[in-house]
Structure 1
Amino acid sequence: MNGLKELLKHEEEKLQAVKLVVDNRLKNVPDGALRITSTRKSQIQYMHCTEQDKNGQFIKKENQELAFKLAQKSYDQKVQRLVERRIKQIKKLSDEYNDNEIEDIYDQLHPVRQKLVIPVEKPWEKRLAEWKDIPYVGKEFSENIPVIYTKKGERVRSKSEKIIADTFYDLGIEYKYECPLNLKGVGTVYPDFTIFRKRDGKEVYWEHDGRMDDPSYAEKAVRKINSYIANGYFPGDNLIVSFESSGNVLNDRIIKKMISKYIF
């Protein structure tokens, strides 16, 4: 499973944060444990049990805070034991696991043997090359569009698109510019960029919406994003959306942060 290594890392970080909380709460706790009983009249009673007194001493009403502390202690101890066990399990799995281990078996074969084998999972470079080789016809440029070229040598429609494309180029991210996509109920649209994401093998679409301070433009942008969502493309998953206005322009630092979050 692509990306499992990263998921394990995030889960361990989450559990470590939980462990830190309960470890701190368990530093200064009263001895013993809480036992809850009820009388014949169905009244709840709290009993403070210790090593010396297993049955426990009745906790008086004026000392109810002790019951809260003992209950919290018991809960925190259970959480502590669970997260410690899970952290050990995750560490063991993470040490043994490699996202590309099935792919690596094929890669490590002698080239002559590779020709005799059909891999269950194609090597990433081969999948990427096949994706790149799929031909497409992008959207045409009208005469009034500024002539702007990227480092890759292709024409784009705005300086912001050039910044995004050049950042992809510098980071070695393959992309397709304005590759057509059919959306049910809308027809053919041309996402600004289409990326074949390695970590999960998904096509990811990046739409950049400038001029968001123009009400007419913003209305169209919202309608476009909603059409993506209606077709199963969700921001933060297989759809990335960036914005700018005349007073808040896009920069490569923002783009790199988004790439780190949503693509790598």
Structure 2
Amino acid sequence: MTGLKEVLLKEQGRLENIIAAVKRQLENTPPGSLRISTSKNGISYYHYQITDKGNGTYISRKNNDLIQKLAQKTYNEKVLKYAEKRLQYVKRLADSYDDNGIEGIYEQEHPGRQKWIHPIEPTWKQRVDEWLKEEYQGKGFKETDPFIYTERGERVRSKSEKILADYFYSHNIPYKYEHPLYLTGFGIVYPDFTVLSQRTRHEMYWEHNGRMDDPAYARKAVKKLQNYEKNNIFVGEKLILTYETEQSVIQTKDIERLARKYLV
């Protein structure tokens, strides 16, 4: 499962980028700091350095460039201090955190002990097994539909759907073909594939749009996508889309890229 661990690693990368950017900016900053004095006549700026015995050297408003650089320097130094402190904390947490820690306790038990244990949370395998056991009525086929079967032995409507199904099957990605889904304001739809994401432990829908160079087909696909969005099913969150035309057919590398991003 990918959860907090991934968030922590992303935050670690973000902080490292911030630290690197701030350090680059600090390389070319003038020495000293900016002192600000406020009076009824307004704000005055002074360039203060360690060697100064007084309040520093007054900066004329004509020298706004120096004011900006010193102000930016102070800000950058504060950001750097905070980011470095936070990075240390995030690194420690990321190194010690395991998203699958509780599940791992059960998995590491002896099989003879496992059969007597009821896990506090279902393991991924138990979740998948229960999910796949669910019976449902698919869309059905017309007499004119081609006879195309997947490696799992189910009938699909196109060679591209077979490629997708066979990829899921060979890579142990749990899926259901044309499982009915009710969309408010539209009715029952049959997503090409309903898949169970190991990354999020939630269902996602994978729609393959195979004839996008056919205007009528494309309009229908767009309408379907709009109805998904009206039901809070958005691309990249709960919906995965692939496309095809006569000149551009689906490639296994495209399926693999999306599966790695959203499913495994």
- TM-score, normalised via structure 1 length: 0.92
Q: 1:92: how far off?
A: 0.6
Q: How does 1:27-106 map to 2 (within 5 A)?
A: 27-42=27-42, 44-53=43-52, 55-106=55-106
Q: 1:82: how far off?
A: 1.8
Gaps of 5+ in 2: none
Matches of 2:115 and 2:246 in 1, distance apart? 56
Matches of 2:116 and 2:248 in 1, distance apart? 56
Number of the residue aligned with 1:255: 255
Shift of the 110–250 alpha-carbon distance from structure 1 to 2, 3 Å rule, reads closer
Matches of 1:212 and 1:224 in 2, distance apart? 13
The CA RMSD over aligned residues, in Å, is 1.9
**Greater mean alpha carbon deviation, residues 213-222 or residues 105-114:** 105-114
Matches of 2:203 and 2:243 in 1, distance apart? 21
Matches of 1:151 and 1:56 in 2, distance apart? 79
Number of the residue aligned with 1:208: 208
Q: 1:88: how far off?
A: 1.1
Which amino acid in structure 1 is aligned with residue 32 of structure 2? G
Number of the residue aligned with 1:224: 224
Alignment size in residue pairs: 263
Number of the residue aligned with 2:179: 179
Q: How does 1:76-225 map to 2 (within 5 A)?
A: 76-111=76-111, 113-225=113-225
Matches of 1:143 and 1:183 in 2, distance apart? 27
Matches of 1:255 and 1:242 in 2, distance apart? 8
Q: SS of 2:182's equivalent?
A: strand
The C-alpha deviation readout for 1:120-165, integer Å capped at 9, x for no partner, is: 2111111111111111121111122222222322221112212222
Number of the residue aligned with 1:4: 4
**Greater mean alpha carbon deviation, residues 217-226 or residues 158-167:** 158-167
* C-alpha contact (below 8 Å) 2:199/2:262 kept by paired residues: no
Q: 1:59: how far off?
A: 1.0
Shift of the 100–243 alpha-carbon distance from structure 1 to 2, 3 Å rule, reads same
**Greater mean alpha carbon deviation, residues 109-118 or residues 151-160:** 109-118
Q: 1:113: how far off?
A: 4.6
Q: SS of 2:153's equivalent?
A: coil
**Greater mean alpha carbon deviation, residues 46-55 or residues 94-103:** 46-55
Matches of 2:110 and 2:162 in 1, distance apart? 42
Gaps of 5+ in 1: none
Identity of aligned residues (%): 48
Which amino acid in structure 2 is aligned with residue 180 of structure 1? P
Q: SS of 1:89's equivalent?
A: helix
Shift of the 246–37 alpha-carbon distance from structure 1 to 2, 3 Å rule, reads farther
Matches of 1:177 and 1:116 in 2, distance apart? 34
* C-alpha contact (below 8 Å) 2:33/2:70 kept by paired residues: yes
Q: SS of 2:166's equivalent?
A: helix
Q: SS of 1:48's equivalent?
A: strand
